[in-house]
Amino acid sequence: MAGSNLSLDSVVVLAEGQLTADFGEECVILNSTKGAYYGLERHGVLVWHLIQEPRRITELREAILDEFDVDPARCERELMELLTELQGEGMIKVRPRSTT
């Protein structure tokens, strides 16, 4: 995705202003800064819950692979697409891997 600063070593965390409600295997998110609702299912819900605290993208990929039967290449591709979309909507913060 053009302009994305995501790599597997990037660290992602939720941006402020996100309100979440869980409904079984789905969650609904209110991005209060944009006044828009978003829905996530299965893999997306797992990612959303994990990034309540800063996580490297490689950690997210491994958690999905541990939880779901999915091809690793497809997992990585779709994870990066999801994170790029969330970043574009201002729902996550991204920073390079910490050296400490």
| Residue 85, in any domain of the structure | yes
CB-based burial, 21-59: b 16+ in 10 Å, e otherwise: eeeeeebebebeeeeeebebeebbbbbbeebeeebbbee
> Could you list the pLDDT tens digit for every one of the 100 residues in the chain?
344 688 999 999 999 888 888 888 899 998 888 888 899 998 899 999 999 999 999 999 999 999 999 999 999 999 999 999 999 998 999 987 654 4
The pLDDT, as a whole number, for residue 76 is 96
> What residues contact residue 33 under an 8 Å CB cut-off, 6+ apart?
15, 17, 90
| Residue 88, in any domain of the structure | yes
Structure tokens that stand for 43 in this block: 């893999």
pTM of the model: 0.85
CATH assignment of the domain containing 88? 1.10.10.1150
| Residue 2, in any domain of the structure | no
The pLDDT, as a whole number, for residue 3 is 43
The pLDDT, as a whole number, for residue 86 is 92
